[in-house]
Amino acid sequence: MSLPDAATAAASLRNPHPPTPEKDKPANMVAYESSAGEQCQLKNRLLRNRVSAQQARERKKVYVNDLESRAKELHDKNLKLEEKISTLINENTMLRKVLMNTRPKVDEGIETKNDMPGNS
């Protein structure tokens, strides 16, 4: 008595009775008809999804363009404000120097008025 080889053993485990095409034909037709409706639904869903995705991309493009435009406006405004700050700092420094140069003369003028006869 000999043992069956591995290929024969595997083949017998798969399906001992392969299906006949005549028996499966009506079931396949029913499955085909129902899958045709499902395929139509699938196509419609894919089409709606494609349109929705395109609309989302367009909305994103508009949103990103708005953000970039706003960023540029804010950057330009920031540069102008920094320039104004620099100008005001320079003006403030200049006025402080003028004040420092003027104050001794004013103080000196006050002292000379106090030193004048008749101001006692």
**Collapsing DSSP states into helix, strand and coil, what is residue 11?**
helix
Q: Report H helices in 1-20.
A: 6-14
Residue-averaged pLDDT of the chain: 81
CA distance 73 to 80: 11
* Mean pLDDT along residues 50-66: 99
70-90 pLDDT tens trace: 999 999 999 999 999 999 999
| Max Cα–Cα distance, the chain, nearest Å | 151
pLDDT of residue 93: 98
Distance CA 94, CA 103 (A): 14
Q: Which of 5-14, 84-93, 106-115 is predicted least confidently?
A: 5-14
